Structure 1
């Protein structure tokens, strides 16, 4: 009887390790940026006039999570010609259905920065099933400098319909 009990505990322990070890926390960001539950994938890019992009990764299975995973930030910068903060994104729709995406970005500065958070939104970005579409989101720069106080941009909301 003792052997059956020990064997049952061993099987339970292996099953528990297999279940808990199989769970991940989604991807992360490079350059020590933090993860966000509402961002898409991203990259940090110090070659864009002092501005960088950052976002996060999403885990889970809701429709909003799937839409957020489709968005990648390609570049964030201040455009001196238009005096706008701009974000260039790519949306990869790997589904077979066509979707219209709505994306909201937030531009911020680092710790101790004087940057006032700014938001850019673009709606109705049509992406056919199985393809990738690029888009640019812009918001007016309200500062008086060269935009270098803005060091991060992140996707704060994504939806598709």
Structure 2
């Protein structure tokens, strides 16, 4: 009976680590000073070829876990900021595919404020970004900034959803 409890706690701990950021980036900060925002929705994405990388992708589990878990661990958040023209919230990402097969990645980023402060929902997507096996690719997920300030109410961004499919 005690072994069953220990095993359940261990499984819960691994699941908790996987869901809370074992990928090596707990979020990135957004730049700016002060202001407010209105609703934002997902917008555009772009990608550019990168070289192979051995450390950008986070934790590798050796094939254990779902495609969503693996996709989340492959994503490194490089920067979250308001664009230079003040029109978009932008998340810059590096996606590293440590497997041998090519994958198509779908990522939804959520821009967030400080704990206890309310900000409007701001989501940005990267859809069907193809990353060859053993390679890295950079991408930007952006969404229009509809606030009246300089975006500073958004202090970080996180991966809200990530998945990958053989591509």
* TM-score for the superposition, normalised by structure 2: 0.66
Structure having the higher Rg:
1
2:136 — aligned with what? Answer: 132
What secondary structure, in the 3-state scheme, does the structure 1 residue paired with 2:85 have? coil
Q: Residues of 2 paired with 1:100 and 1:42: CA distance?
A: 21
What secondary structure, in the 3-state scheme, does the structure 1 residue paired with 2:71 have? helix
1:80 — aligned with what? Answer: 84
1:70 — aligned with what? Answer: 74
Alignment coverage as a number of residue pairs: 137
Per the TM alignment, residue 118 of structure 1 is displaced from its structure 2 partner at its CA by 0.5
1:35 aligns with 2:20: yes
* TM-score for the superposition, normalised by structure 1: 0.68
Q: Residues of 2 paired with 1:35 and 1:111: CA distance?
A: 16
Per the TM alignment, residue 120 of structure 1 is displaced from its structure 2 partner at its CA by 0.4
Unaligned runs of 5+ in 1: 1-11, 29-33, 52-56
2:163 — aligned with what? Answer: 159
1:104 to 108, 114, 122: 108
Q: Residues of 2 paired with 1:25 and 1:88: CA distance?
A: 28
Change in CA separation of 1:17 and 1:117 when aligned onto 2, cut-off 3 Å: closer
Per the TM alignment, residue 21 of structure 1 is displaced from its structure 2 partner at its CA by 7.9
Change in CA separation of 1:120 and 1:21 when aligned onto 2, cut-off 3 Å: closer
More relative contact order in 1 or in 2 (CA 8 Å, sep 6+)?
Answer: 2
2:50 — aligned with what? Answer: none
**Contact 2:106 2:129 survives alignment (8 Å):** yes
Unaligned runs of 5+ in 2: 35-58
